[in-house]
Amino acid sequence: MSNKGTYYITTPIYYPSSNLHIGHTYCTVMADAMARFKRLQGYDVHFLTGTDEHGQKIQTKAQEAGVTPQEYVDEVVAGIKDLWKTMEISYDDFIRTTEPRHMERVQKIWKRMYDKGDIYKGAYEGLYCKECESFWTESQLVNGCCPDCGRPVEHASEEAYFFKLSNYADRILQLYDEHPEFLEPETRRNEMRNFINQGLEDLCVSRCTFDWGIPVPNDPKHVMYVWVDALSNYVTALGGPDDAEEYNKYWPADVHLVGKEIVRFHSIIWPAMLMSADLPLPKKVLGHGWLLLGGEKVSKSKAAKGMDVVDPVILIERYGIDALKYFLLREYTFGQDGNFTNEVMLKRINFDLANDLGNLLSRTVSMIEKYCGGVVPAATTHDEIDEDLKNIAVSAAAKVSEEMDKFAFNMALERIWTVVRRANKYIDEKAPWILAKDKSKKAELDTVMNHLAETLRIVSILIYPFMHTTSDKIRKQLGLWYADVVWEDAETFEMMYQEQVKKGEQIFPRLDVEKELEELTKIAQEEAKKKAAAATQDPVEKAILNSVPLELKDEIVYEDFDKMDFRVGTILKCEKHPKADKLLVSQVKMGTEVRQIISGVAENFTPEEMVGKKVVVLANLKPRMLRGMESYGMLLFAGDHGNYVITTDAPDGEVVN
């Protein structure tokens, strides 16, 4: 494998404010596919992800949870790392902004900017909410009050450091002009151009009203603005800004993959910071679109409404990592927003994976077992149809590469599925089950089996960056377990000969979409309730949301209930049953009538305790003889062993209904 040089790819570093959802997963899955693709192409890849752990929001969350900010983030970050492990994300480094290696190096970047004369002390003016210790702009207020807590705000001013962002407007515009590839898609570049043209203000880059952040060098009562801290991660993780082996090797980054709402930070503030610190700029910032739920960005609060399951862990448990990754990469067009629903996901998994790919593999392996004793035969004949399949299969790798160069993951997969679908059609056209009936067609039949095996071998290479586990499964069934996955091998057809195939499990079992949707809806609603219960302060609402249905006897109708005649009674007298230790014999007055009723509660009550109690009696219960004494009805008790007697204030004789 030739080494084509280095390739440094990054995801944004995620806020560990709570667990990640499918929207966050989307970006990491794309970065992972690209990293794996580039590795397969022979690049020395460095794939960085991590967490953005400072700032007032995290500090407040930790306070609410009654833990230190560090304890708070440690727990959420452990969950994020677990998620990436479950999803087999192949990152090379995970940077946490609370790590000393990051904090020290950010201070160095700051110093470079300061020494350049680009950072100065000033005053941050604005509308201030004392309660939340936050500055707001006029437009952020809700009814003139703090958008977070609803309290009135006041004009205030706070000492702060500023970065001369305005000085860099021209150089950034020039960067877009000279290197349009720096920021893509083009729509984002145009948006940023407009933004800059409206005038760039200097950026407030420090705060002194909270302390969960990186101290400003030589003025530690200030902490750095969280975006200065966060953006620097791409350099600090490599050991920069000083000379360091990884930094020298991988910086500047080949691509920062980011969501569209943070393109502004990456394509204006970040290059300006680097220009100021005299550091090279990344080669590309790529802005992707959002996954939407019902037209709005998938977010924790939206998920809390419980329409679809957006927790990647649940989806992976049910459908597998590869199905989820395939869906995310195939369904959405890079740069554009796309709606996420469980239904679209399930259908995609069924059609493309269970039907198209799964069937192609199981049909091929079964036929090679049946017609060729399980051994892949050589191809000795060929006609136009064979040629067509072969051409489509061997030319796919170049097309996939072309699409990947454009980050068009969905199109890359579409190119691969063109091959898969062509192979399925090839089976129908060639009808091997008919060829198998005629001995003189044996050579032709062998060719068909050979071509199907070759095609699947190629598919197993092409899908490797997107679904490496599925690729391995296919290769095992094809008897290719011994061979490394080599990209160039997808460009040739004559590689398989006498491999021993072995039918395995269905790689993607067919899903019952209706049933799955019902299940997922239930799960989503349960999750939503849990989240809402955790969020509310109202104890009644919390209890309602936490309510779990009781396990009851079979349902009855009103007529069943109406058969029972309950009455209020007063116990006039109570004695122990002379022949049974567990029984009490009571004389109960219900209006005009006094009756004898026997109850098995002598272990819980003394006869004296029972006398005078106003009780509820099932009065029309058939009389029953208990150890030689007649009982005419039943007193009601609660608890497994009649621990509590049911009493009432109502006068005796009253009907209970």
Long-range contact pairs involving 264-268 (C-beta distance under 8 Å, separation at least 24): 264/192, 264/195, 265/227, 265/231, 266/231, 267/172, 267/182, 267/183, 267/188, 267/189, 267/192, 268/165, 268/172, 268/192, 268/195, 268/196, 268/200
The answer to whether 26 contacts ligand MSP (rule: CB under 6 A) is: yes
Binder of ligand MSP out of 7, 8, 13, 599 (CB under 6 A): 13
Backbone angles phi, psi at 572, to 5 degrees: -85, -35
Minimum CB distance to ligand MSP, residue 383 (Å): 48
- Give Cβ neighbours of residue 548 (< 8 Å, ≥ 6 apart): none
**What x/- string results for residues 624 through 653 when contact with ligand MSP is judged by CB under 6 A?**
------------------------------
Helix (H), strand (E), coil (C) string for 317-337: HHHCHHHHHHHHHHHCCCCCC
Retrieve residue 56's tokens: 């007032």
Q: How far is the CB of 274 from ligand MSP (least distance, A)?
A: 13
From the CB of 12, what's the least distance to ligand MSP, in Å? 4
Q: Report which residue type is found at 572.
A: L
H/E element holding 366? helix 359-372
For ligand MSP, the closer CB: 109 or 258: 258
Q: Which of residues 218-257 bind ligand MSP (CB under 6 A)?
A: 230-231, 233
Nearer to ligand MSP, 338 or 591 (CB): 338
Pair 460, 474: CB distance under 8 Å: yes
Closest CB to ligand MSP among 392 and 524? 524
Q: Is 24 in the site for ligand MSP (CB under 6 A)?
A: yes
Q: Is the link from the previous residue into 241 a cis peptide, with omega within 30 of 0?
A: yes
Q: Does 271 contact ligand MSP by CB under 6 A?
A: no
Exactly one of 23, 320, 479, 633 binds ligand MSP (CB under 6 A); that residue is 23
Minimal distance, residue 55 CB to ligand MSP, in Å: 9
Which residue lies nearer to ligand MSP by CB, 310 or 400?
310
Q: What is the DSSP letter of 213?
A: S
Nearest to 27 by CA among 45, 8, 13: 13
Report the candidate in 595, 639, 600 with the shortest Cα–Cα distance to residue 618: 595
Q: Which is nearer to ligand MSP, 299 or 381 (CB)?
A: 299
**Binding residue for ligand MSP (CB under 6 A) from 15, 163, 319, 407?**
15
Q: Say what angle helices 321-331 and 312-319 make with each other, to 10 degrees.
A: 110
> Where do the H-state alpha helices sit in 536-656?
539-546, 558-562, 607-610
DSSP for 173-192, written as a single string: HHHHHH-GGGEESHHHHHHH
**Closest Cα partner for 567 from 623, 630, 635, 625?**
635
Q: Is the dihedral of CA 506, 415, 44, 257 positive or negative?
A: negative
Binding mask 180-219 for ligand MSP (x = CB under 6 A): ----------------------------------------
Q: Closest approach of Cβ 17 to ligand MSP, in Å?
A: 8
CB atoms inside a 10 Å sphere around CB 115: 12
How many residues belong to the site for ligand MSP (CB under 6 A)?
20
Least distance (Å) from ligand MSP to the CB of residue 336?
Answer: 11
**258 sits near ligand MSP (criterion: CB under 6 A):** yes
Nearer to ligand MSP, 71 or 261 (CB): 261
Nearer to ligand MSP, 52 or 254 (CB): 52
Residue 334 engages ligand MSP in binding (rule: CB under 6 A): no
CB nearer to ligand MSP: pick between 70 and 174: 70
| Window contacting ligand MSP (CB under 6 A); options: 7-15, 76-84, 440-448, 514-522 | 7-15
Q: Per rule CB under 6 A, is residue 291 in the interface with ligand MSP?
A: yes
The residue among 75, 78, 49 whose CA lies nearest residue 61 is 75
Return d(Cα 610, Cα 571) in angstroms, integer.
Answer: 7
Q: What is the closest distance, in whole angstroms, from the C-beta atom of residue 92 to ligand MSP in the complex?
A: 17
Q: Which is nearer to ligand MSP, 224 or 230 (CB)?
A: 230
Residue number with the smallest Cβ distance to ligand MSP? 259
Between 266 and 390, name the residue whose CB sits nearer to ligand MSP: 266
Would you count residue 352 as binding ligand MSP (CB under 6 A)?
no
In the list 71, 170, 261, 278, the residue contacting ligand MSP (rule: CB under 6 A) is: 261
Tokens representing 575? Answer: 């004695």
Q: How far is the CB of 24 from ligand MSP (least distance, A)?
A: 5
Helix intervals (H) in 182-239: 186-197, 226-231, 233-236
Write out the DSSP string of 87-98: TT---SEEEETT
One residue of 262, 304, 385, 528 binding ligand MSP per CB under 6 A: 262
Question: What is residue 294's three-state secondary structure?
Answer: coil
For the bound state, the minimum distance from the C-beta of residue 331 to ligand MSP, rounded and expressed in Å, comes to: 12
- Interaction of residue 89 with ligand MSP, rule CB under 6 A: no
Residue 383 engages ligand MSP in binding (rule: CB under 6 A) = no
Residues making contact with ligand MSP (CB under 6 A): 12-15, 23-24, 26-27, 52, 230-231, 233, 258-259, 261-262, 290-291, 297-298
